[in-house]
Amino acid sequence: MTNEFILTLITLVAGLSFGFTGFYVYAQKAQTLTSAFLKKELAFAPIYISSVALLTLLYFITPTEDDFIHNFSALELFIPLLLAGICYFLTLFAKTAKFINIFLILATAVSVYFLPTDFLMFEGYLPLWADRLVIILLWSVFSCFYYILNGVDGILPIFNASYLICLMVLALFDAAPVLYGLIGLALLCINSSFMVYNWFPSRISLSNNSCKIFGFMLGGIMTFAGSENLAPCFSVVLTLFAIELLQSIFKKLSLRDRYAELNNNTICYQAHIRGLTPDQVCFAIFKIQILFIILGSFQAYLPNNYSLPIASLILATWFLNKLKNWDEPIQSLKEINQEFVKDLRQNINDIKNTLNRD
């Protein structure tokens, strides 16, 4: 057996063991907690502690190979993990938890500051200072709004898994360094443990703040992988999240009471309250994300960075529209376009009417 196979096997066993043990212990201890706030915040502890332990282990035992475009020191890799831990600690106190978005933006800026000077996610397109600002913006937005996926049992771990599986597939086909593939496997195992407990009916759920910190950690991994020319690959897998975020924010701008909470504005949540069970929503999302993982993996070998992301955007828009209108008769492409334009006009009119009243 090769060293890589043995290391993969160790990562698989350790990840599952750490994850299931951590969540089992938490589930037992949570019964004694009287604070609902603290109970949800502490649910993230098994994920964070297991992630730090496994990623530290992998960094120091994975054989050094020349498969990185940019090699990272331990400081550059573990600064984001340390900052995630600090932010998580601050969420355990009600007085500081409300400032989590500010803490995450600062953590993102500090993490980007420690990136290597030759690190460029958009090399050839943006100068260094603009590249850094765009990275901070994208990473911060992903972190601060990742909680919108926390509306339906099981959806959050499904999206987590899709990003991590994509990273593993890219590493398997030598498009990403081996270390990234093992990190993806380790976090996938921990996430799988969480999925067992978060699946409908959920026994363990994360708070919105914990989801943001989870998003910060995942965003950091995708940022580092982006330096390996993999940003277009992840943009494909992130298409559903991006569309859900944009349409949720657009609804909130209408200032109608029913659109006040972003994680209740997602199409996944709307499909659930219209009659689909959480299981049905999760399986639908999982199937389309598998397709995006395949497309994202192909993107690594294409000569341009925009063809598959554009195709994925069209496909994701069509899928979400079908999911939203799951209980209606099959529509033609023309009817789908007409309904989309109608919804868009309605939202714009709502915003105008609200502004006129003010």
Q: Residue 333 pLDDT > 70, yes or no?
A: no
In a domain, 269, yes or no: yes
The pLDDT value given to residue 278: 94
In a domain, 188, yes or no: yes
| H-assigned helices in the chain | 3-30, 36-42, 45-61, 74-91, 94-97, 100-113, 128-145, 155-172, 178-198, 208-225, 231-237, 239-252, 267-273, 278-299, 307-324, 333-357
Q: Residue 1 pLDDT > 50, yes or no?
A: no
User: Band of the pLDDT at 285, cuts 50, 70, 90?
Assistant: very high
In a domain, 104, yes or no: yes
3-state helix, strand, coil in the chain (%, to 5): 75, 0, 25
Contact 15, 190 (CB under 8 A): yes
In a domain, 133, yes or no: yes
Q: Residue 193 pLDDT > 90, yes or no?
A: yes
pLDDT per residue over 12-45, tens digit each?
A: 999 999 999 999 999 988 888 888 888 889 999 9
| H-assigned helices in 253-327 | 267-273, 278-299, 307-324
In a domain, 337, yes or no: no
In a domain, 301, yes or no: yes
pLDDT per residue over 42-75, tens digit each?
A: 999 999 999 999 999 998 888 776 666 667 778 8
In a domain, 352, yes or no: no
pLDDT per residue over 116-125, tens digit each?
A: 877 888 777 7
The pLDDT value given to residue 67: 62
pTM of model > 0.85: yes
Spatial distance between the Cα atoms of 77 and 31, rounded to a whole number of angstroms: 36
In a domain, 355, yes or no: no
Count how many domains the chain has.
1
Average pLDDT of span 278-282: 94
**Residues spanned by the domain of 19:** 3-327
